[in-house]
Amino acid sequence: MPRFTLWFTIWLSGLLSTLPAKASVQPTDFMAFPQGFHWGSATAAYQVEGGIQNNWSAAGLDAGAGVEHWTRYEEDFTAAAEMGQSLYRLSIEWARIEPRPGEFDAGALAHYRRMLRSLQAKGIQPMVTLFHFTVPTWFEARGGWTVAENSQYFTRFVTHVSRELGDLVYYWNTVNEPVVYAFKSFDEGSWPPFKKDRNLALRVVKHLILAHGEAYRIIHAQDALASVGFAKNITLLQPNWPLNPMDQLMTNLQSYLFNETFWEAIEKGQLAFRVPGLEPIVIPYNDRLHKSMDFIGINYYTRYLITASGAQRTQPGVPVSELNWELYPEGLLQVLRLANTHAQRLRVPIIITENGLADAEDQLRPGFLLAHLHAIWQAIQEGIPVQGYLHWSLLDNFEWAEGYEHKFGLLDADRQWRPSARLYQQIARNNGFSRQLLETYPLQSASQAH
């Protein structure tokens, strides 16, 4: 292909990627969601339970008592039920279940059984995540996810948990935000084990892809009717300058690596991702990986503008959360359109497995919530099969390396309902919301909110 034609193709594809795929559906007087749509929320064990010793606590990032969800789960689940929630995502802490290699804690498993039964008694289906950024210290000491052979320990854990708890669980997430974990822990080096080696990060991505495929088959061997997927963080990435072909090229590269490699590997059962100067991710065809997904789980929070150098920046002057994440609800519709291309190939539905923001004063959350739900409603009108929405989070929690400073909860640590929790209750119980409600809570910047 002549060089001019190549650059023109790159430029045109990048320009088109910044444009809406189709006209957005306009609000009606009442935006109803499909019957049986799941309204819910999500948590992760280490962030809320307390009393956990794992690779994070050993590295000096100790969540301590958490927000005592381990002992106060009954009142937390009661609040979720009162809110009208029908699906609750939680994780099973591997370090609790298998504190030493091959030794399983029957008491911890029994406690999780009580939690799952409590949810079911309140009319809430559990969605269980098996890896949510934390591992036992003994697993980390053996090289953790950087060593291919260590995946056998994860599959042993999955086998035990699915056998012991599978009768109480329909929805499973094998792994949470695998690419985020790989790059935070092994490239950026801000999470345990604090490595800064991009090749290691790519290796971990590969091992987590393969571990997902194994976990999927293990769970289905226990329960052929289970619905198994994973929670994938999808950040909308767009070129900083849409007309700059280098910005476009870097955007396409990052979007493929961070957003689509996992999906492609599962669709095809194989993957070949190469960047000059870096270790490739090569997975030969693997029948245990191929089509190992019963739903697409999406965690959506923000968008970034990508420069030719690969830097991710936030557009100045836009509404942002306490973590300086841009609040960009229209991006969720674009992400759902992207996900739908994969959902159609795999013939699976989509569930929003996380969406929320850090907002201690609860000034932005009502507008954030309604604007993102409006984007989901628009997607459903376009025929995109979104079956549920899980807000992050039910409770304020330990926000990983940021600690307890940032507040994501519908409920605070004292179990006080924030106004947005009452709003969510109204939406969930009505299975939708009115145009008037949407217009009452416009999304605005923090300065405007005050």
Q: Would you state the pLDDT for residue 26?
A: 86
In a domain, residue 12? The reply is no
Q: Would you state the pLDDT for residue 223?
A: 98
Residue 5 has pLDDT above 50, yes or no: no
Taking CA atoms, 330 is separated from 47, 71, 227, 335, 383, in Å, by 29, 38, 28, 9, 17
Q: Is 304 helix (H, G, I), strand (E, B) or coil?
A: strand
User: In the structure encoding, which two tokens stand for residue 32, read together?
Assistant: 């109803």
In a domain, residue 389? The reply is yes
Residues 110-140 have pLDDT tens digits of: 999 999 999 999 999 999 999 999 999 999 9
Strands (E), 356-434: 386-392, 432-434
123 with 86: CB under 8 angstroms? yes
Residue 7 has pLDDT above 80, yes or no: no
State the chain's mean pLDDT as an integer. 94
Q: Would you state the pLDDT for residue 275?
A: 86
Q: In the chain, what percentage of residues exceed pLDDT 90?
A: 91
Q: For 411, phi and psi rounded to 5 degrees? A: -115, 145
Give the count of domains, the chain.
1
Give, in degrees to the nearest 5, the angle at Cα 320 between 317 and 323: 130
Residue 1 pLDDT class (50, 70, 90 cuts) = very low
Cβ burial, residue 199 (10 Å; 0-12/13-18/19+): middle
Q: Would you state the pLDDT for residue 158?
A: 98
424 with 367: CB under 8 angstroms? no
Residue 270 belongs to domain with CATH number: 3.20.20.80
User: What is the average per-residue pLDDT within 66-85?
Assistant: 98
User: What is the average per-residue pLDDT within 347-372?
Assistant: 98
Residues 307-343 have pLDDT tens digits of: 999 999 999 999 999 999 999 999 999 999 999 999 9
Beta-bridged to residue 304, according to DSSP, are 237
Q: Which residues lie below 8 Å from residue 6, measured CB to CB, with a gap of 6+? A: none
Q: Would you state the pLDDT for residue 14?
A: 52
Q: Which residues lie below 8 Å from residue 326, measured CB to CB, with a gap of 6+? A: 302, 303, 304, 314, 315, 318, 319, 320
For residue 180, the enclosing domain spans: 38-449
Nearest to 352 by CA among 296, 428, 433: 296
Beta-bridged to residue 128, according to DSSP, are 90, 172
In a domain, residue 23? The reply is no
Q: Would you state the pLDDT for residue 435?
A: 97
Residue 103 has pLDDT above 60, yes or no: yes
Q: Would you state the pLDDT for residue 23?
A: 61
Beta-bridged to residue 386, according to DSSP, are 350
In a domain, residue 402? The reply is yes
Q: Would you state the pLDDT for residue 25?
A: 85
Residue 19 has pLDDT above 60, yes or no: no
Residues 208-234 have pLDDT tens digits of: 999 999 999 999 999 999 999 999 999
Residues 246-263 have pLDDT tens digits of: 999 999 999 999 999 999
Strands (E), 202-325: 227-233, 236-239, 271-273, 281-283, 296-299, 303-306, 312-313
Residues 182-218 have pLDDT tens digits of: 999 999 999 999 999 999 999 999 999 999 999 999 9
In a domain, residue 21? The reply is no
Residue 15 pLDDT class (50, 70, 90 cuts) = low
Q: Would you state the pLDDT for residue 71?
A: 98
User: What is the average per-residue pLDDT within 86-103?
Assistant: 98
Q: Would you state the pLDDT for residue 118?
A: 98
In a domain, residue 7? The reply is no
Answer positive or negative: Cα dihedral of 305, 309, 311, 317.
negative
User: In the structure encoding, which two tokens stand for residue 236, read together?
Assistant: 């909308």
| Cut 0.85: pTM above it | yes
In a domain, residue 424? The reply is yes
User: What is the average per-residue pLDDT within 72-98?
Assistant: 98
